[in-house]
């Protein structure tokens, strides 16, 4: 009778212990897969949420009085050439998601209501080559505006109002949306396309500022450099018409969110790997050790050392393979449900890292094989008479 048939018969005969082996392997493997197979999706969702904390770098015209700028709530009338954006992209500075803006104070009108408000021409975010391209700021359609909630209330319009226009500087713009209240200066702003604002305010090829996200925080922490110093030095090599401000609290919050999440996930995965190793090797080794008398019987009826080892190896591999397959399927299914429930910022997309899933399953099988093979080989090397009759 072949070792495969014997292994299957032995599994069916000892179905309780075999089922326990499969359940343990499936549970631990499934947990590992749950935290590994969709790691890319998790990191992408985490990065998107960290990005949405907001821009932490502001590039202003060199002439801006920073005291007056902050006193006015982050508003300045000075401008700089918009070509600076292209220069930053060409230089491949340590930034991403560049958002150029042109800001002015202007009269906004709706019906009999007139309000002096902040008007911001804004471009869609610009990704630098080789960096994440998912837009942080989407483009605003030409000849339309978006009203902040406070400005809309001041003009006497609500989110339920349909198909209406407001006049800015005497020019009519269709209101595409009224933004939700977010508790910042943006609630009192009218947003429009950058090119439209440049034309409206006679500021062709001019911008008031550039907002961006830095890409140097973690690298600088590892080398002991200061991110603001590195970024300022880069900007100085690009242009002498701009100055850089860095929002330290936002940068620190984004960096800590990424680091803590990554380290906690890594620690949890390492712990699960240890539990998987202990579980598989413990169960497989225990099975081989407890069946020393059976190994003696098999040897006495003509099974050589290699066939005995192969029998135990096949049993362990079959059980581990079954458990790992169930675990991978369960873990991947849980990841899918998680993506639908939690991955809102990335569009509830599910991205399976099958390489990670396959690695988990392969290592589980190898652990089971080694754990079963070593005790069986040691027992098979002994005299059958020494093994037969021993209590399990």
Q: 190: how many CB neighbours lie within 10 A of its CB?
A: 24
**Structure confidence at residue 313 (pLDDT):** 74
> What are the residue ranges of helices labelled H in the chain?
3-13, 15-36, 39-51, 66-71, 83-91, 149-155, 194-200, 217-223, 227-238, 248-290, 292-300, 305-342, 354-380, 384-387
Return the closest-CA partner of residue 10 out of 327, 384, 310.
Answer: 310
**Mean pLDDT over residues 325-332, rounded?**
83
Beta bridge partners of 105: 118
Q: What is the pLDDT of residues 180-228, one digit of tens each?
A: 888 888 899 999 999 999 999 999 999 999 998 887 655 555 555 677 7
Distance separating alpha carbons of residues 153 and 299, to the nearest angstrom:
90
Stronger pLDDT, 87 or 258, i.e. the higher one: 87
| CA 357, 358, 359, 361 torsion-angle sign | positive
CA distances from 364 to 77, 99, 256, 385 (A): 64, 48, 33, 34
CA distances from 276 to 25, 122, 282, 364 (A): 7, 52, 10, 7
Q: Which two tokens stand for residue 15?
A: 């179905």
Q: For residue 339, name the pLDDT band (cuts at 50, 70, 90).
A: low
Strands 206-207 and 189-193: unpaired
* pLDDT above 70 (res 324): yes
* pLDDT above 60 (res 266): yes
Residue extents of the structural domains in the chain = 3-47+256-387, 57-246
Rg (CA), the chain: 33
Return the closest-CA partner of residue 247 out of 224, 203, 214, 286.
Answer: 214
Q: What is the pLDDT of residues 12-28, one digit of tens each?
A: 767 777 888 788 888 87
> pTM value?
0.64
DSSP state of 14: T
The end-to-end CA distance of the chain, in Å, is 25
Angle among Cα 116, 182, 243 to the nearest 5 degrees reads 70
* pLDDT above 60 (res 347): no
């Amino acid at each position: 009778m072949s070792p495969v048939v014997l292994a299957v018969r032995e599994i069916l005969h000892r179905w309780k212990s075999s089922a326990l082996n499969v359940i343990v392997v499936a549970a631990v493997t499934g947990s590992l897969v749950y935290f590994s197979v969709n790691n890319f999706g998790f990191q992408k969702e985490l990065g998107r949420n960290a990005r949405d904390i907001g821009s932490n770098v502001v590039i202003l015209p060199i002439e801006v009085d920073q005291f007056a700028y902050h006193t006015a709530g982050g508003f300045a009338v000075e401008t700089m050439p918009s070509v600076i954006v292209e220069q930053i992209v060409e230089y491949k500075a340590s930034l991403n998601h560049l958002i150029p803006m042109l800001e002015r104070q202007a009269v906004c009108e709706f019906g009999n209501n007139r309000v002096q408000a902040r008007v911001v021409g804004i471009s869609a975010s610009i990704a630098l080559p080789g960096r994440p391209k998912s837009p942080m700021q989407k483009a605003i359609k030409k000849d339309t505006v978006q009203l902040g909630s406070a400005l809309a209330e001041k003009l006497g319009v609500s989110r339920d109002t349909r198909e209406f226009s407001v006049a800015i500087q005497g020019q009519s713009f269709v209101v595409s949306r009224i933004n939700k209240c977010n508790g910042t200066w943006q609630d009192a702003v009218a947003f429009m396309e950058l090119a439209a604002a440049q034309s409206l305010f006679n500021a062709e090829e001019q911008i008031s500022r550039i907002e961006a996200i830095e890409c140097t925080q973690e690298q600088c922490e590892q080398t002991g450099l200061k991110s603001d110093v590195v970024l300022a030095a880069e900007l100085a090599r690009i242009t002498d018409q701009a100055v850089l401000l860095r929002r330290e609290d936002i940068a620190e919050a984004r960096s800590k969110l990424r680091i803590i999440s990554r380290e906690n996930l890594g620690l949890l995965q390492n712990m699960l790997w240890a539990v998987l190793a202990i579980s598989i090797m413990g169960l497989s080794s225990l099975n081989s050790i407890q069946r020393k008398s059976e190994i003696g019987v098999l040897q006495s009826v003509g099974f050589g050392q290699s066939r005995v080892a192969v029998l135990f190896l096949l049993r362990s591999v079959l059980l581990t393979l079954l458990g790992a397959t169930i675990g991978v399927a369960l873990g991947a299914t849980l990841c899918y449900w998680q993506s639908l429930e939690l991955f809102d910022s990335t569009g509830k997309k599910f991205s399976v890292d099958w390489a990670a899933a396959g690695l988990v399953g392969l290592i589980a099988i190898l652990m089971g094989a080694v754990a079963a093979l070593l005790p069986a080989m040691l027992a098979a090397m002994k005299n059958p008479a020494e093994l037969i009759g021993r209590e399990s």
